[in-house]
Amino acid sequence: MEVLNDIVFQVDMDTLLARLHIDKESEDAKDIQHLLQSAASVARPKAIYEVSYIQHKSHNTVNIGGVTFTSRVLRLNLDKVERVFPCIATCGRELDEIAIASDDFMRQFWLDAIKEMALANSIKYLDDYLKRSYALGQMSQMSPGAGSQNLWPIEEQKQLFSIFGNVKDLIGVELTDSFLMIPNKSVSGIYFPTEIRFESCKLCPREVCPGRKAPYDKNLLESYYKDRTRR
Ligand code: SF4
């Protein structure tokens, strides 16, 4: 297991304003500049990963480093894979400690956008680091709860976190009773080599989602469950 905690916080003001649809010359832009400066002085994006090996596979389960996960889609995605990288990336708890009044929804929204961009710093760093360190080619990632509830149940966050031990002590991320992560701008999952890039969005029928990365493909979704001859 390795903790990556020297990730540089890089959030460009122009990109942030464009994302928030805020005019550069506006009063809001000045407030956002101050908020970004406060964020930059404390932000510590982080990530953690483990190198794990597939120990056993059944029809809809896969045992990774001694921990069993139940998901037909995960199982099939790892059909020809032996080594995987369980991982968690986060914007860092420090950004949650910036004081904003509970009724100041606008600043909370701006801070959330900053946190999202800090998380993107962590994800990119982790991706580059793994590819460089382990000479990896094309990779994909699957997360518990992503796509739709039955692809890989969100409850399996618990097993995923168990691979690392005390994740809160290691990188400040903890699970709520409903298996969501705090800080909210954190991602967890299994990173694996793949010839054809996997996107959970292709298996997700949600109609309105600003985060969609690929169109829903009903046939692809059905193919995971129809072909019972596949092991
Ligand atoms: S469409 Fe949205 S909800 Fe569905 S998997 Fe993609 S990002 Fe997640």
Structural domains in the chain, CATH included, are: 2-226 (3.40.109.40)
Cβ 57 under 6 angstroms from ligand 1:
no
Closest-CA residue to 157 (of 172, 169, 173):
173
Cβ 200 under 6 angstroms from ligand 1:
yes
Mean pLDDT comparison of 103-107, 195-199, 216-220, highest-scoring range: 103-107
Mean pLDDT of 102-119: 96
Share of the chain above pLDDT 90, in %: 84
Cis peptide before 183 (omega within 30 of 0): yes
Would you say 136 and 143 are in contact if contact means Cβ atoms under 8 Å apart? no
Residue 230 has pLDDT above 80, yes or no: no
Q: What is the Å distance from ligand 1's center to 212 Cα?
A: 5
Task: Give the pTM.
Answer: 0.92
Determine which helix (DSSP H) or strand (DSSP E) holds 30, and give its type and residue range. helix 27-42
Residue nearest to atom 3 of ligand 1 (CA): 147
Q: Which atom of ligand 1 is nearest to the CA of 147?
A: 5
How many Cβ atoms sit within 10 Å of the Cβ of residue 220? 13
Closest-CA residue to 66 (of 130, 153, 160, 2):
160
Which of 70-74, 110-114, 211-215 is least confident? 211-215
Cβ 72 under 6 angstroms from ligand 1:
no
Strand partners, 83: 53
pLDDT for the residue 211:
83
Cβ 47 under 6 angstroms from ligand 1:
no
Q: What is the Å distance from ligand 1's center to 81 Cα?
A: 25
Cβ 209 under 6 angstroms from ligand 1:
yes
Q: What is the Å distance from ligand 1's center to 201 Cα?
A: 5
Cβ 143 under 6 angstroms from ligand 1:
no
Which ranges in 100-227 belong to alpha helices (H)?
105-134, 157-162, 167-171, 218-226
Q: Which long-range contacts (CB under 8 A, 24 or more apart) does 127-131 make?
A: 129/4, 130/49, 130/85, 130/87, 130/191
